[in-house]
Structure 1
Amino acid sequence: MEHPDHTAASSALHGPIRVGVGGWVYAPWRDNFYPADLLRRLELDYASRHLRAIEVNGTYYSAQKPATYAKWAEATPPGFVFSLKAPRYITESRPLAHSGKGVDSFIYGGIEEMGDRLGPILWQLPPSRKFDADDLDAFLQALPRVLNGRPLRHVLEVRKPGFLCPAYVELARKHAIPTVFTDSPKFPSLADLTGDFVYARLMRSIEEIATGYEDRALDQWAAHAQAWAAGRDIAALPHVGPTQPPGPPREVFVFFISSAKLRNPAAAMALQERVDRLA
């Protein structure tokens, strides 16, 4: 399914909803998501015209050159955005409060070349990272919020059960940093709303299903995405604290990650179609 108009679905009552996948280079997508005869240098061009967002995992292993960020942006249509996964040498440093030099190197090292294609910056904390309120507080306080006049959006993914506590939720809300909602049997999950946008990573796709998820599950996630975009909390999802009262519209990002990666583009397109139909 193609989306020639990449302006994300939105209205006065709903924030835009963008559905995507992790990365765009994956050999099994050839003759599955990508046409068999598509030139490899055109894969991003193709992916960005069938999806609304891509989470870049490569930046987790090493920051890119400014020219690379510019090239990515130029290959994509208006309305498309990238989420950049922050380098692991920052999130794995000890303590986080002393990672300022690394943070600045990444933030001011060229990502401004992406312009309006730059979406959220994902800070993924490893499963070994314990919840230390003072350390995390200092880290979140120091994160740059503006780059060349453009607001920066940060989102935090926590992977240790010790973060599933009211103190963490309170701290994230203090800094207005959204927490990733991770739907996975492997990692802790909390849907507490802690920022002004929502970021979900869905990790249960099944290879035997052409769209990765059964229709009923995709319908449910479309309803969840619409509820988030309308500013509503979702009591049916796991929370640390009580659900929040309805608030202003929120931008929503949903990524199909890992699991049966072969099926993730189809899952993303199927979910985006449902979301757009409900808008």
Structure 2
Amino acid sequence: MTAIYIGISGWRYAPWRGDFYPKGLTQKNELHFASRAISSIEINGSFYSLQTPERYANWYADTPKGFVFSVKAPRYITHIRRLKDIEKPLANFFASGIFELKEKLGPILWQFPPSFRYNPESFEAFLALLPHDTAAALACAKGCEPRMEGHSLLKIDRKRPLRHAVEIRHKSFVDPGFVALLRRYKVALVIADTAGKWPYCEDLSADFVYMRLHGDEKLYASGYSDSAIERWSKRIECWSRGGQAPDANLITPRKPRARRSRAVYCYFDNDIKVRAPYDARHLIHQLGLEHGLQATPGKPGMSDDKPNDDRETTP
């Protein structure tokens, strides 16, 4: 199998303290702990506001060799500007310090709100702006606004590939033309398990697979059972070998370009009940990917036997 990264979306959650995080562990050491229990983390603070080069550099230093971060792109671009006049915001994002992650920089996640409808022209214009290596991202970053002076990083350690993934939440995206567009620009369609709330599609459109598991029964809350973890592990094994599940839920019957392998990035986002880190560990165990990771408290394989609540967020 090729590279498989299993992790969590974010790592700073108060309910995790004294549970996944050992009692007494200081907040500043939480990333150090989490990054040795799983192989990847999706940074979501970058969704709410631009981070700084110092923060990215600290995150790089706190994590072990081989660890990978995915970075959630700013909601200012996807939710507020809604892809209108985004050249400067895009430059500001790439200038904000993500180059400090160096070889630990994984895919960039672009999540769109449930109210955002698919428009082929505007969406292709957006995809055409996305850089596919760090050299191109640096060229984009150099167009940042003057306000970024003193809060930016306009250099890279070397040219590296840059991947992008798109998470959609409006049914208008269930359009074969959308998948064809993603394939043309080599952007992944996020396979998002949202307890049936938003479209679930497994079309492969890039040389990697990006998964977000928000909960299969209750959004952001329910844990994944042993059988669910086994099902996901089989799918991941299939995708990593370049294949597709025979029962895949697809937008288009047109097959993607044949590949011998695909990298897989999988993030659990069912954090309300402190399920995400344990489900990630359970899936890591199921795939036999524990080598080099530390043991964690609790029982990663434990099914969710706690009552769910109705709290929902938009991480």
What is the TM-score normalised by the length of structure 1? 0.89
Match of 1:143 among 119, 122, 130: 130
- Are residues 108 and 146 of structure 1, via their aligned partners in 2, closer, same or farther at CA, if it must alter by over 3 Å? farther
**Residue correspondence of structure 1 range 247-258 to structure 2 within 5 A:** 247-258=259-270
2:286 is matched with: 274
SS at match of 2:211: strand
Matched, 1:116 2:103: yes
Structure 1: 5+ residue stretches without partners = 1-13
Deviation at 1:237, TM superposition (A): 2.9
Match of 1:96 among 83, 86, 96: 83
The root-mean-square deviation of aligned C-alpha atoms, in Å, is 2.0
> Which amino acid letter does the alignment assign opposite residue 77 of structure 2?
I
- In the alignment, the residues of structure 1 paired with residue 54 and residue 290 of structure 2 have an alpha-carbon distance, to the nearest angstrom, of 38
Q: Is the 8 A contact 2:70 2:109 kept in 1?
A: yes
Count of residues in correspondence between the two structures: 263
- Are residues 265 and 30 of structure 1, via their aligned partners in 2, closer, same or farther at CA, if it must alter by over 3 Å? same
- In the alignment, the residues of structure 2 paired with residue 164 and residue 41 of structure 1 have an alpha-carbon distance, to the nearest angstrom, of 42
Deviation at 1:95, TM superposition (A): 5.4
Matched, 1:215 2:202: no
Deviation at 1:108, TM superposition (A): 2.3
- Are residues 177 and 261 of structure 1, via their aligned partners in 2, closer, same or farther at CA, if it must alter by over 3 Å? farther
**Residue correspondence of structure 1 range 3-82 to structure 2 within 5 A:** 14-82=1-69
Q: Is the 8 A contact 2:223 2:270 kept in 1?
A: no
- In the alignment, the residues of structure 2 paired with residue 272 and residue 39 of structure 1 have an alpha-carbon distance, to the nearest angstrom, of 26
Paired-residue identity, %:
40
Question: 1:50-103, CA deviations, whole angstroms, 9 ceiling, x for partnerless residues?
Answer: 011111111100010101000001000011111111000011245525211111
- Are residues 170 and 80 of structure 1, via their aligned partners in 2, closer, same or farther at CA, if it must alter by over 3 Å? same
- Are residues 238 and 205 of structure 1, via their aligned partners in 2, closer, same or farther at CA, if it must alter by over 3 Å? closer
What is the TM-score normalised by the length of structure 2? 0.79
- Are residues 277 and 243 of structure 1, via their aligned partners in 2, closer, same or farther at CA, if it must alter by over 3 Å? farther
Question: 1:244-272, CA deviations, whole angstroms, 9 ceiling, x for partnerless residues?
Answer: 37522111011111364411100000101
Matched, 1:172 2:159: no
> Which amino acid letter does the alignment assign opposite residue 165 of structure 2?
V
- In the alignment, the residues of structure 1 paired with residue 168 and residue 103 of structure 2 have an alpha-carbon distance, to the nearest angstrom, of 27
- In the alignment, the residues of structure 2 paired with residue 205 and residue 36 of structure 1 have an alpha-carbon distance, to the nearest angstrom, of 29
**Residue correspondence of structure 1 range 167-246 to structure 2 within 5 A:** 167-184=177-194, 185-204=196-215, 212-242=223-253, 244=255, 246=258
> Which amino acid letter does the alignment assign opposite residue 224 of structure 1?
R
1:11 is matched with: none
- In the alignment, the residues of structure 1 paired with residue 253 and residue 99 of structure 2 have an alpha-carbon distance, to the nearest angstrom, of 38
> Which amino acid letter does the alignment assign opposite residue 203 of structure 1?
H
- In the alignment, the residues of structure 2 paired with residue 204 and residue 236 of structure 1 have an alpha-carbon distance, to the nearest angstrom, of 20
Q: Is the 8 A contact 2:284 2:290 kept in 1?
A: no
Question: 1:205-251, CA deviations, whole angstroms, 9 ceiling, x for partnerless residues?
Answer: 679xxx93211111111111111100011232311112637522111
Q: Is the 8 A contact 1:16 1:252 kept in 2?
A: yes
Question: 1:97-155, CA deviations, whole angstroms, 9 ceiling, x for partnerless residues?
Answer: 52111111101221101111111110011111111101111110111122131221111
Q: Is the 8 A contact 1:205 1:261 kept in 2?
A: no
2:74 is matched with: 87
Indicate the structure (1 or 2) with the bigger Cα radius of gyration.
2
Question: 1:149-179, CA deviations, whole angstroms, 9 ceiling, x for partnerless residues?
Answer: 1221111111100000101011111101001
Q: Is the 8 A contact 2:213 2:269 kept in 1?
A: yes
1:132 is matched with: 119
- Are residues 37 and 229 of structure 1, via their aligned partners in 2, closer, same or farther at CA, if it must alter by over 3 Å? same
